[in-house]
A = this chain, B = another copy of it.
C-alpha cells in the first residue's frame, strides 16, 4: 500500500492506494469518529463491492444508500434521496458518509456530507479510474443544474481517500479510457516526463496491468494533491487542472449529460485547447500531434461532436465557472508540461479554434 498526504492545514488528509483495500476495514475505521456510517453507492457498484465494505465495517451501525447509476442522476432529486435516508435512519452530526463509486457518487455524497446538518464527516472510496485520479482528491463536490454542470456544490474535504486498484478489474474499457484522459492531463499541465512514461505504458494501462495502474494513479494523485495544496479554492493555479474542461463541459451540456463520458468530453476539449495553444504559437504542431496521438491510443475521442457549431460552444462556455466578470478564461499550454490560465487571447483565435475541421486535423 502507498500513502500520500494532501496538505491543507487542519483539513489535511491521506490518500491510501493499493490492491484489495476495501477488505481492510481498519484503514477506514480510524477515520470514523462516531458509531453511525452511511455508505452512498449506486446500483452498478453495490452488487460488486457493497457487501465487502459492509463486512469490513461490521462494528458500525451502517445505512446503505443505493442510488440510480449515471451522470443523468447527478441532480437535486437524487441528492434528496440521500437526505431522506439519513433522516429516516436518524443520522446525527457525528455520522460519517462514505462514497463508494465513481465521480458522480463522490460528488453527490460529498455535497450531501457538506450540507447534512451543516456538515458531517466524509470518506471517499472511488471505484473508477477517473474518480481515483481526479474527482476524489481535492474536495470539489456538487450536483448539476439543468443550465450548467456542477453549478451547485461546496468545497468540502474528506477525512481520507481509499483507492482500491483491484476495483478497476470490473470497470468497462470505455470508462477506463475516460479516466486515462485525466491521467494524460497531469502530464500535459505539469509533468512532461510523465507524458513519456505514458507513451511507453499506455498499452499496459489499457490491459489493466496492476503495477502500471498503481504507478499512474500514484503519480496523478501526487500532481493533484500538490496543486490543490497550493490553491484549495481555485483562485489561481488549481484552475490549470481544468485543461480541456471548458470546451469539454460545453460538449457535455450540448449533448445532454451522460451521452459522452466526462473523460471523453475532456479528451476532445483538450485537443481543442492544444490546437488553440498551437494557433497562439505557444506549442508546436508536432507537440500537439504527440498529445493527440497519446489520447487516441488511450481509446479516447479527439474530435468534438460533428453537430456542434462554434456558436454552440460560445453559448455554453459563457456560463462556465471559469468566467470572471464576464471574461472567459481558458487553460492553455505554454509548452508540454506547463499550463496557464488566461483570458489574454484574441477572440478571433478562439473562434478560429472552434471552427477548425478536427477530423482533418487529427488524421
**A→B interface (CB under 8 Å):** 34-36, 76, 80, 83-84, 87-88, 90, 92-94, 114-119, 140-142, 145, 147-148, 150-155, 233, 318-319, 321, 323-326
Contact = CB atoms under 8 A, between A and B. Distances in A.
A314 B155 CA distance: 35
Given A92-B326, A117-B153, A119-B155, 20 more contacts: A34-B325, A36-B325, A83-B145, A83-B151, A87-B145, A87-B147, A87-B148, A87-B151, A90-B319, A92-B323, A92-B324, A92-B325, A93-B321, A94-B325, A115-B115, A116-B151, A116-B152, A118-B140, A118-B150, A118-B321
Nearest to A320: B92
A233 to B, nearest CB: 8
Contact of A154 (B84, B114, B318): B114
B152 A83 contact: yes
Contacts of A76: 76, 80
A35 B325 contact: yes
A177 to B, nearest CB: 28
Contacts of A140: 118
Nearest to A141: B118
A115 B155 CA distance: 9
A245 to B, nearest CB: 14
A220 to B, nearest CB: 22
Among A115, A119, A154, A319, max chain B CB count under 10 A is at A115
A153 B154 CA distance: 11
9 contacts: A76-B80, A83-B151, A87-B319, A92-B324, A92-B325, A93-B324, A117-B151, A118-B150, A119-B233
A84 B146 CA distance: 9
